[in-house]
Amino acid sequence: MLIQPRIRGFICTTAHPQGCHQAVLQQINYVKQQPAFSGPKNVLVIGASTGYGLASRIATTFGAQAKTIGVFFEKAAEDGRTASPGWYNSAAFENLAHAAGFYAKSINGDAFSQGIKQRTAELIRRDLQQVDLVIYSLASPRRVHPVTGQVFSSVLKPLGQPFKGKTVDAFRGDIKEVSLEPATPDDVNNTIAVMGGEDWEMWIDFLMKENLLAKGATTMAYSYLGPELTHAIYKNGTIGKAKEHLLATSQQLDKKLKALGGQALISVNKALVTQASAAIPVVPLYISLLYKLMKAQGTHEGCIEQAYRLFKEKLYSPQGAVKDSEGLLRLDDLEMQAALQQKIAELWPTLTSANVEELTDLQGYRDDFYRLFGFNMPGVDYSQEVNPDVPLAV
């Protein structure tokens, strides 16, 4: 079939298998061009098919020769619909990793469920015996609790008072005012249940109980802090509460893992174009402005540059994990540079629909967004028919 992008709001409902393959290949090639590093041997990535999780899988495989098991929740192609991009990415990753001689296996299903934890445990026991790094990189709008069956939906809302701010319709280039009502206590609890640390802790407790964590094992989850202008919607909003819970969980897990000589960490990452971040009001406009300035400075990084730097320089640096005074790994160090943020704060109030294309990298945002779904990739002829059915052993 001919596959073209079909945008609905902030998602694209189609994905291109060859384009996703090219995007994964590009990330792999980036890592292969960097110096190798001494890192983990056996890695479990939960949320491994797109964004930061996929980049983490690629960086540890091709940068440190790690064996990886990836867990994700993606859709195969069916009834004239394409597969989801994470499906195509994972198929491409496995093919390319296997061709290079690396172990890589995947499990597709709901990571929040006990069944998927069980299947993952069996695969680790059979193939790797133990893992020495567990990356928790889930971003999900909902969670079915594995014990109570309760369904939680996460929301992106401010706390305490309504929020009014600027956001952009990235495809039309229109800047609009967005206004959001404050979260209810239930909204906060539901968002914490989905994006907080309970499921991460369940994973680690289970893997520990099953003796599947190697001596000295590390587990790491990802967070975001961002500048003042995103605080109402992010750091001080419902998602920020979930991230606080994730941080508190990392401290609990760190204590538990000390028994194995291991550690639990949070890495605070840069704002990047992913399916998860596209859904957050304000953030796409902020990213567009950030990218314009960081590209001009030569400090811009995408997922793979961030992931490689995370492992090479922050987590597996010769002196061990490089943490800030609060114990966090800071991959947002370049994003949060004071002079850069000062410039963003100055430009932000001046942004209008008339100047947004010039003052921000909205085109770069769109390009990155399309690439998440395998479109706009150099070397792919989108006028050719392709088979959407791509096999993936999961």
Task: Give how many residues touch ligand NAI by CB under 6 A.
Answer: 29
Q: Does 281 bind ligand NAI (CB under 6 A)?
A: no
Question: Residues 102 to 131: which contact ligand NAI by CB under 6 A?
Answer: 110-112
Q: Does 88 bind ligand NAI (CB under 6 A)?
A: no
Q: Does 374 bind ligand NAI (CB under 6 A)?
A: no
Q: Are 334 and 327 in contact (CB under 8 A)?
A: no
309: how many CB neighbours lie within 10 A of its CB?
Answer: 18
Phi/psi-derived region of residue 372, left when phi > 0, alpha when psi is between -120 and 50, beta in every other case: alpha
Q: Does 229 bind ligand NAI (CB under 6 A)?
A: no
CA distances from 358 to 165, 207, 298, 351 (A): 20, 50, 18, 10
The interface mask with ligand NAI, positions 306-345, x = CB under 6 A, is ----------------------------------------
Single residue of 22, 27, 42, 50 touching ligand NAI by CB under 6 A: 50
Q: Is 136 a catalytic residue?
A: no
Single residue of 73, 93, 152, 200 touching ligand NAI by CB under 6 A: 73
Single residue of 37, 62, 72, 373 touching ligand NAI by CB under 6 A: 72
CA gap 103, 327 in Å, rounded: 32
Which of residues 72 and 88 has its CB atom nearest to ligand NAI in the complex? 72
Q: Of 30, 136, 222, 234, which one is the catalytic site residue?
A: 234
Q: Are 173 and 362 in contact (CB under 8 A)?
A: yes
- Nearest 5 degrees, angle CA 291-CA 297-CA 300? 40
Q: Does 138 bind ligand NAI (CB under 6 A)?
A: yes
Name every residue whose Cβ is closer than 8 Å to that of residue 268 and which is 6 or more positions away in sequence.
Answer: 222, 223, 224, 225, 328, 329, 330, 331, 332
Single residue of 140, 189, 236, 252 touching ligand NAI by CB under 6 A: 140
Residue with smallest beta-carbon separation from ligand NAI: 51
The interface mask with ligand NAI, positions 253-272, x = CB under 6 A, is ----------------x-xx
Single residue of 20, 23, 139, 188 touching ligand NAI by CB under 6 A: 139
Burial profile 74-111: b = 16 or more Cβ within 10 angstroms, e = fewer: bebbeeeebbbbbbbbbbbbbbbbeeeebebbbbbbbb
The interface mask with ligand NAI, positions 176-215, x = CB under 6 A, is ----------------------------------------
Identify which range of 33-41, 183-191, 220-228, 340-348 contacts ligand NAI by CB under 6 A. Answer: 220-228
CA gap 307, 208 in Å, rounded: 26
DSSP 41: S
Tokens read off for 258: 């000390």
Handedness of CA 17, 19, 22, 27 (dihedral sign): negative
Single residue of 175, 183, 257, 276 touching ligand NAI by CB under 6 A: 276
Which of residues 14 and 277 has its CB atom nearest to ligand NAI in the complex? 277
Element (H, E) at 223: strand 213-223
C-beta of 287: minimal distance to ligand NAI in Å? 7
Q: Does 175 bind ligand NAI (CB under 6 A)?
A: no
Q: Does 93 bind ligand NAI (CB under 6 A)?
A: no
Pairing of strands 263-268, 213-223: parallel
C-beta of 129: minimal distance to ligand NAI in Å? 23
Backbone angles phi, psi at 300, to 5 degrees: -65, 140
Q: Does 97 bind ligand NAI (CB under 6 A)?
A: no
Handedness of CA 160, 162, 167, 172 (dihedral sign): positive
Collapsing DSSP to helix, strand or coil, 207 comes out as helix
Q: Which of 103, 120, 98, 92 is nearest to 41 (CA)?
A: 103
Collapsing DSSP to helix, strand or coil, 326 comes out as coil
Identify which range of 16-24, 67-75, 163-171, 363-371 contacts ligand NAI by CB under 6 A. Answer: 67-75
C-beta of 259: minimal distance to ligand NAI in Å? 26
Which of residues 249 and 269 has its CB atom nearest to ligand NAI in the complex? 269
C-beta of 9: minimal distance to ligand NAI in Å? 15
Please report, as ranges, the residues that interact with ligand NAI according to CB under 6 A.
47-53, 71-74, 86, 110-112, 137-140, 222-224, 269, 271-272, 274-277
Give the residue numbers marked as catalytic. Answer: 234
